[in-house]
């Protein structure tokens, strides 16, 4: 395994717009909102940025193709700007581009910005869209909830779990995320909900009800990264650095080969193992302080906690119901509300997760701040569907710790 | 080697609309329809049409039969989805029949199927004659009640026939009892009493007489008289006029299925072949701008017992439907609010369809010749992570394989003409898997491990261009399945 990027790159500043139904904003407005906060935090000027990465996934709904929309919105001075797209993991991909640029020495300071303006669709949920020429002919008539819901049937069959027990654990996950988002002014959905409301909600895709699904939101988030040395030179004393950044992409095995049973994320298990190795984490359940996973659906969060090796296989239901992942639990999960309630502007989500870890590690998370500032924060950003996806994992922590 | 009918198959869609539902919904306007309110009629699922039904009937007929032996395909219908695209070409490709085969669409008359069968019998060689009808009638019309959707298929050739042709006769006259033009969606029909007296009674008995004379068989020797008729009880009158015993008049399946138009004479023939004892004579008459009469003798050769549903099996594979509104929506007789999610562009690039026809229309995947891994679709590099051999795959057909549900959902978000959209991962018993749409299934019956068979169906309608694309879907396999 390569040496990796552990502690080679520091986060100089981060920003995040308010997520939600931003009827008054174009994507460019959201870009500027996140960027302004990030640059204030970084304490630098635009001309100091050497290169930038833009993440958007459903660009046909808002900015269109290429990196030009970012360069134009921010009037970037004709620097290299690249647009990346990797399903819902696009935000972490932009971060990876910027981090690798700094780690390689190609850039001193780099920007990663993710944005999505989804609420010009005209209806709820993600836009119905084509999947590619041949895929349109042979893929099922799918939606994201319909495919993620299938984790439930396969997980139940594998572990012999009743629908009611699974639904209760899934409901606990959603209730917890709503609780957490109530303490987050930037979150999209800040209302508290009850177990009964979740369990009796209208069905979206069996067994996922309305409250098992994350919000569809407008928003943007960004990170400005540099080397720890430059961060110090710019006056930063309290530095958060990147400990690991891993990506695993399905190669058709899950979709075509019968070795995958449909109850877990093959990519997540691989990316998590590599990330722990890169970060030097040996016992994740003991060493990871805080986690933000890609909770597009409650059941995704549930099985992901096992795939990240935080809960034992088949043990996530017990951990969830025991409050292990609650805000006051051992490893809070989605302390900012997660995709479920902070919202899911696709291109921004990966960066939003890192933003929360960054705030928590620096003790700047306001009323949702963990009492003991976390040592290692992990984010898990997934794109695609259980049977073919891209999984991006980042671990960040205090530099030199 | 004797020549004759070698095999027979049928397909009747699983949904059976209760006629009561039609009568009740239209009572305010047409109370007279109540007299037609008994029983049920077969209706296509939203994703079925004449082509998909023809494929199923063809598969049913071809159980245990070597498809490569078929030299000619005749596809009869008056409800072809395409006016200019060989409908039989789609059927042939979905059935993975040899490219060297010729194919003909036979249209424009209620007797299209009997005419096609008579030509096939005269031509010699091995032919598949398939007929299917996706009937369309105005709301509150009598034919909405009396018609049904369905298909039948007959294999003709040399071998061990289940029936031999004893004689045949035809006539062609421009008798217009009803018509439908390229511009009109529905039939326009003249008075029933005139159709009975000047049509059936005047035209059919002499042709039957000629047919029996050619076969040197007396009318009394006819044990099964199969003649669909749009006018009630006219068959009995024709039988009487022709000297055929009333007890020989075959059940027109009006109560259980409805009249399947151009397919119905063939469907009745298939039913008769299933019932007839060796040596019994079956007379089939197709009526429309003249008539065809074909007289067969059932041999002792048995129909395949395993894997074939036939007419009786398909009549038994049924689900009662009581929603008239759903029927109207499926037949596109009512404009329902389909929502913005239905607006997605469904363009099919024809060049890509052609390139991928084995995958899309034939559901042919690959088998790695290095490691043996069976996979769908076939790709340049083997999917087995321990192999990944390049260009190692030979064609492997999936359409006839049984799979099991590995995971599933019932999706109310994605647009479907019949929500919830049910789909899931199908794992094939011999290997291979695919995330597939399900059809002919109710969400509450889904379970991991459920056995599923592949069915050729409409995948998407493209209203912008009038095109429709087809692919295979998974449907619960009956106890009899192992069908190909």
Q: Is the pLDDT confidence value at B481 over 70? A: no
Q: Is the pLDDT confidence value at B482 over 70? A: no
| Pairing status of strand B364-368 against strand B374-375 | antiparallel
Reply yes or no on whether A344 is catalytic: yes
- pLDDT tier, A372 (very low <50, low <70, confident <90, very high otherwise): confident
Q: Is the pLDDT confidence value at B143 over 60? A: yes
Task: Report the first-to-last Cα separation within chain A, whole angstroms.
Answer: 22
Q: Is the pLDDT confidence value at B483 over 60? A: no
A354, A370, A345: which is closest to A116 by C-alpha?
A: A345
Residue B484 pLDDT:
43
pLDDT digits (tens, 9 = 90+) for B328-361: 999 999 999 999 999 999 999 999 999 999 999 9
A347 within 8 A of A51, measured Cβ to Cβ: no
Residue B479 pLDDT:
64
Report the length, in residues, of chain A. Answer: 401
- pLDDT tier, B301 (very low <50, low <70, confident <90, very high otherwise): very high
pLDDT digits (tens, 9 = 90+) for A323-366: 999 999 999 999 999 999 999 999 999 999 999 999 999 999 99
How far is C-alpha A145 from the geometric centre of its chain's CA atoms?
A: 17
Task: Give how far B453 is from chain A: nearest CA, Å.
Answer: 16
Q: Which residues of A touch B340 (CB under 8 A)?
A: 121-123, 128
Across the interface, do B379 and A252 touch by the CB < 8 Å criterion? Answer: yes
For chain B, residues classed under CATH 2.40.50 are: 344-363+398-476
Rounded average pLDDT over B26-54: 98
Q: Is the pLDDT confidence value at B306 over 90? A: no
- pLDDT tier, A37 (very low <50, low <70, confident <90, very high otherwise): very high
Report the chain A residue with the minimal C-alpha distance to residue B449: A157
B247 interfacial to chain A (CB closer than 8 Å): no
Percent of the residues in chain A that have a pLDDT greater than 70, as a whole number: 100
pLDDT digits (tens, 9 = 90+) for A265-315: 999 999 999 999 999 999 999 999 999 999 999 999 999 999 999 999 999
Across the interface, do B411 and A205 touch by the CB < 8 Å criterion? Answer: yes
Q: Is the pLDDT confidence value at B113 over 80? A: yes
Residue B1 pLDDT:
76
Report the length, in residues, of chain B. Answer: 484
Q: In whole numbers, what is the pLDDT of chain A averaged over residues?
A: 97
Identify the active-site residue in A16, A25, A88, A391. Answer: A88
Task: Give how far A261 is from chain B: nearest CA, Å.
Answer: 7
pLDDT digits (tens, 9 = 90+) for B207-227: 999 999 999 999 999 999 999
Task: Give how far B161 is from chain A: nearest CA, Å.
Answer: 39
B387 interfacial to chain A (CB closer than 8 Å): no
Reply yes or no on whether A88 is catalytic: yes
CA separation for the pair A206, B232 (Å, rounded): 47
Report the chain B residue with the minimal C-alpha distance to residue A263: B407
Question: Residue B306 CB: number of other CB atoms within 10 A?
Answer: 10
Strand order in the sheet with B364-368: B374-375, B364-368, B393-397
Rounded average pLDDT over A118-133: 90
Place of tokens 């002499």: B206
Helix, strand, or coil here: B201? Answer: helix
Half-sphere exposure of A261 (CA within 13 A, CB side): 13
pLDDT digits (tens, 9 = 90+) for B243-300: 999 999 999 999 999 999 999 999 999 999 999 999 999 999 999 999 999 999 999 9
Q: Which residues of A touch B444 (CB under 8 A)?
A: none
Q: In whole numbers, what is the pLDDT of chain B averaged over residues?
A: 96
Q: Which domains does chain A have, with CATH numbers?
A: 10-117+218-233 (3.40.47.10), 144-213+238-398 (3.40.47.10)
Tell which wins on pLDDT, B479 or B313. Answer: B313
Q: Which residues of A touch B409 (CB under 8 A)?
A: 145-147, 149-150, 153, 205-206, 208
pLDDT digits (tens, 9 = 90+) for B154-177: 999 999 999 999 999 999 999 999
B376 interfacial to chain A (CB closer than 8 Å): yes
Of B344, B360, B383, the CB nearest to A257: B383
CA separation for the pair A320, A324 (Å, rounded): 6
Q: Give every CB contact of residue B323 below 8 A, 6+ residues apart in sequence.
A: B21
What are the tokens at A28? 């460019």
Q: Is the pLDDT confidence value at A40 over 60? A: yes
CA separation for the pair A261, A312 (Å, rounded): 17
Q: Give every CB contact of residue A16 below 8 A, 6+ residues apart in sequence.
A: A34, A37, A186, A219, A220, A221, A222, A348, A351, A352, A355
Backbone angles phi, psi at B482, to 5 degrees: 140, 10
ipTM: 0.94
Question: Residue B333 CB: number of other CB atoms within 10 A?
Answer: 15
Q: Which residues of A touch B448 (CB under 8 A)?
A: 153-154, 156-157
A133, A116, A96: which is closest to A31 by C-alpha?
A: A116
Task: Give how far A208 is from chain B: nearest CA, Å.
Answer: 9
User: Chain A interface, mutation test: which of B351, B413, B450, most A Cβ atoms within 10 Å?
Assistant: B413
Give all strands (DSSP E) within A33-72, no chain letters: 51-55
Residue A375 pLDDT:
96
Of B340, B346, B384, the CB nearest to A257: B384
CATH class of B2-330: alpha beta
User: Chain A interface, mutation test: which of B367, B373, B411, B465, most A Cβ atoms within 10 Å?
Assistant: B411
For chain B, residues classed under CATH 3.40.47.10 are: 2-330
Task: Write the CATH number of the domain with boundaries B344-363+398-476.
Answer: 2.40.50
CA separation for the pair B55, B43 (Å, rounded): 16
Across the interface, do B383 and A145 touch by the CB < 8 Å criterion? Answer: no
Helix, strand, or coil here: A144? Answer: helix
B218 interfacial to chain A (CB closer than 8 Å): no
Q: Is the pLDDT confidence value at B480 over 70? A: no
Task: Give how far A120 is from chain B: nearest CA, Å.
Answer: 13
B344 interfacial to chain A (CB closer than 8 Å): yes
Q: Is the pLDDT confidence value at B369 over 90? A: yes
Identify the active-site residue in A188, A344, A380, A387. Answer: A344
pLDDT digits (tens, 9 = 90+) for A14-31: 999 999 999 999 999 999
pLDDT digits (tens, 9 = 90+) for B445-456: 999 999 999 999
């Amino acid at each position: 395994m390569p040496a990796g990027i552990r502690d080679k790159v520091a986060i100089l500043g981060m920003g995040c717009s308010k997520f939600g139904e931003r009827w008054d904003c174009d994507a460019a407005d959201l870009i500027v909102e996140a960027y302004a906060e990030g640059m204030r935090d970084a304490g630098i000027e635009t001309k100091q940025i050497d290169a930038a990465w833009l993440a958007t996934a459903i660009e046909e709904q808002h900015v269109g193709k290429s990196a030009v929309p970012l360069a134009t919105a921010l009037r970037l001075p004709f620097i290299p700007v690249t647009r990346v797209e990797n399903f819902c993991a696009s935000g972490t991909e932009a971060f990876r581009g910027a981090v690798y640029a700094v780690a390689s020495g190609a850039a001193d300071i780099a920007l990663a910005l993710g944005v999505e303006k989804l609420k010009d669709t005209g209806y709820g949920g993600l836009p119905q869209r084509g999947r590619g020429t041949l895929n349109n002919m042979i893929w099922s008539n799918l939606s994201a909830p319909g495919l993620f819901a299938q984790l439930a049937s396969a997980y139940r069959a594998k572990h012999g779990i009743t629908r009611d027990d699974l639904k209760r654990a899934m409901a606990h996950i959603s209730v917890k995320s709503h609780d957490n988002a109530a303490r987050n002014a930037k979150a999209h959905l800040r209302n508290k909900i009850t177990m009964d409301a979740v369990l009796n909600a209208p069905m979206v895709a069996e067994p996922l009800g309305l409250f098992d699904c994350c919000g569809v939101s407008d928003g943007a988030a960004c990170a400005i990264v540099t080397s720890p040395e430059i961060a110090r030179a710019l006056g930063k004393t309290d530095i958060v650095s990147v400990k690991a950044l891993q990506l695993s992409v399905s190669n058709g095995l899950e979709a075509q080969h019968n070795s995958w049973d449909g109850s877990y994320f093959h990519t997540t298990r691989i990316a998590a193992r590599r990330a722990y190795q890169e970060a030097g984490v040996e016992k994740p359940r003991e060493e990871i302080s805080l986690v933000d996973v890609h909770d597009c659906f409650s059941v995704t969060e549930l099985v992901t906690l096992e795939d990240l090796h935080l809960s034992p296989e088949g043990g996530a239901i017990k951990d969830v119901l025991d409050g292990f992942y609650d805000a006051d639990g051992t490893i809070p999960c989605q302390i900012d509300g997660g995709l479920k309630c902070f919202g899911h502007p696709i291109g921004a989500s990966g960066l939003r997760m890192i933003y929360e870890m960054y705030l928590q590690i620096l003790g700047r998370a306001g009323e949702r701040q963990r009492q003991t500032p976390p040592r290692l924060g992990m984010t898990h950003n997934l794109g695609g569907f259980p049977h073919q996806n891209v999984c991006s994992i980042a671990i960040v922590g205090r530099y030199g710790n | 080697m004797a020549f004759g009918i070698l095999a027979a198959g049928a397909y009747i869609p699983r949904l059976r609309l209760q006629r009561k539902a039609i009568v009740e919904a239209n009572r305010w306007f047409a109370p007279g329809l109540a007299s037609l309110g008994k029983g049920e009629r077969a209706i296509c699922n939203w994703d079925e049409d004449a082509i998909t039904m023809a494929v199923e009937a063809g598969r049913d007929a071809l159980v245990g039969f070597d498809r490569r032996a078929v030299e000619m395909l005749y596809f009869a219908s008056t409800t072809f989805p395409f006016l200019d695209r060989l409908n039989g070409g789609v059927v042939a490709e979905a059935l993975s029949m040899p490219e060297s085969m010729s194919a003909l669409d036979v249209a424009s008359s209620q007797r299209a199927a009997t005419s096609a069968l008579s030509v096939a019998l005269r031509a010699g060689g091995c032919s598949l004659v398939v007929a299917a009808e996706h009937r369309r009638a105005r709301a509150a019309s009598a034919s909405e009640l009396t018609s049904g959707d369905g298909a039948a298929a007959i294999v003709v050739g040399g071998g061990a026939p289940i029936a031999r042709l004893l004689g045949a006769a035809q006539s062609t006259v421009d008798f217009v009892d009803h018509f439908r033009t390229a511009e009109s969606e529905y039939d326009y029909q003249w008075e029933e009493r005139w159709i009975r007296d000047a049509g059936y009674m005047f035209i059919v008995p002499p042709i039957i007489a000629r047919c029996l004379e050619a076969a040197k068989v007396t009318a009394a020797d006819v044990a099964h008289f199969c003649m669909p008729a749009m006018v009630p009880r006219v068959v009995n009158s024709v039988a009487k006029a022709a000297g055929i015993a009333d007890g020989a008049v075959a059940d027109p399946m009006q109560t259980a299925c409805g009249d399947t138009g151009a397919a119905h004479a063939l469907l009745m023939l298939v039913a008769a072949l299933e019932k007839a004892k060796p040596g019994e004579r079956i007379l089939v008459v197709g009526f429309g701008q003249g008539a065809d009469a074909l007289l067969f003798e059932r041999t002792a050769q048995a129909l395949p017992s395993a894997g074939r549903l036939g007419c009786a099996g398909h009549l038994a594979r049924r689900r009662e439907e009581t929603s008239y509104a759903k029927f109207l929506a499926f037949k596109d007789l009512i404009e329902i609010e389909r929502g913005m999610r239905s607006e997605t562009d469904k363009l099919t690039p024809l060049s890509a369809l052609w390139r991928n026809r084995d995958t899309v229309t034939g559901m042919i995947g690959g088998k790695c010749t290095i490691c043996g891994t069976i996979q769908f679709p076939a790709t340049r590099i083997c999917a087995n992570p321990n192999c990944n051999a390049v260009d190692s795959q030979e064609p492997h057909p999936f359409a006839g394989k049984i799979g099991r549900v590995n995971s599933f959902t019932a999706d109310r978000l994605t647009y479907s003409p019949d929500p919830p959209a049910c789909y899931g991962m199908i794992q094939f018993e011999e290997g291979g898997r695919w995330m597939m749409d399900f059809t002919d299934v109710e969400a509450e019956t889904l379970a991991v491990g459920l056995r599923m068979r592949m069915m050729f169906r409409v995948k998407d309608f493209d209203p912008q261009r009038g095109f429709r694309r087809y692919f295979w879907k998974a449907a619960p396999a009956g106890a009899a399945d192992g069908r190909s």
